[in-house]
Amino acid sequence: MRVVSVNVSLPKTVEWRGRKVTTAIFKEPVEGRIRIRRTGLVGDRQADPSVHGGPTKAVYAYPSEHYPLWRRELGRADLPWGSFGENLTTEGLDERTLRVGDRLRVGSALLEVTQPRMPCYKLGVRFGRLDMVRRFLASGRSGFYLAVHEEGDVAAGDPIELRGTGHGLPTVSQVVDEVRREEPGR
């Protein structure tokens, strides 16, 4: 397991369907070591901290293994790391096996899996598609949020080590499945 890319962005305002939207979903890969603080990565910010970020959603990770599927499904070969708004693009982690409560040593930081990502309309803004949120949820490829237990530094290429398990707690995929079952109209 390893970090493939570290991605950050600051909020910016874009036009979406005739209105101005402020978002920080346009993450871009960065070089070198980046500090992970309790509130997230240095150089990264959320546009709406009332629903994004905070202590239980300080870092968002997304498996690199999902990218080939999205490239084919969306017909876009130009999906660089960070396209889903993730801070860490990972290799070797999977929502079907990763549990809420699992602790991961990522670079010199200690992070804990807290929940899957439930996207808002800004994922549609990022891809210029009204159907993107629905497609993302239906895919089961949610990625996951991490809380910061020990601050540290991270860079692309750093190993990721499982340091504790959320034994008995649901997998990230099980949480997503439960949320989907509770949606109206299902």
Q: Which CATH number, 3.40.50.970, 2.40.33.20, 3.40.50.80, 3.40.1480.10, labels domain 2-171? A: 2.40.33.20
Look at residue 147 in the predicted model and tell me its pLDDT: 97
What's this model's pTM, rounded to 2 decimal places? Answer: 0.94
CB 119 within 8 A of CB 137: yes
Starting from the edge strand earliest in sequence, which strands make up the sheet with 88-91, in order?
28-29, 2-8, 88-91, 59-63, 144-150, 109-116, 103-106, 160-164
Residue 44 has pLDDT above 90, yes or no: yes
Structure tokens at 87: 């801070």
Checking if the pLDDT of 58 tops 80, the result is yes
pLDDT of residue 184: 58
- Which residues does 147 contact at the CB level (< 8 Å), separation at least 6? 55, 56, 57, 58, 111, 112, 114
Q: What is the pLDDT of residues 120-142, one digit of tens each?
A: 889 999 999 999 999 998 999 99
Q: Is 159 a residue whose pLDDT tops 60? A: yes
pLDDT of residue 51: 76
Per-residue confidence (pLDDT) for residue 4, from 0 to 100: 98
Q: Alpha-carbon distance 8 to 41, whole Å? A: 7
Q: Is the pLDDT of residue 71 over 90?
A: yes
Least confident among 8-12, 44-48, 81-85, 169-173: 44-48
Parallel/antiparallel/unpaired status of strands 88-91 and 2-8: antiparallel
| pLDDT at residue 186 is higher than 70 | no
pLDDT value, residue 49: 77
pLDDT, position 123: 93
Q: Is the pLDDT of residue 6 over 70?
A: yes
Q: Percentage of residues in the chain with pLDDT exceeding 70? A: 98
**Collapsed DSSP state (helix, strand, coil) of residue 111:** strand
Looking from the CA of 3 toward its CB, the CA atoms found within 13 Å total 30
Q: Quick one: average pLDDT of 45-49?
A: 84
pLDDT averaged over the chain?
Answer: 93
Residue-level pLDDT at 141: 95
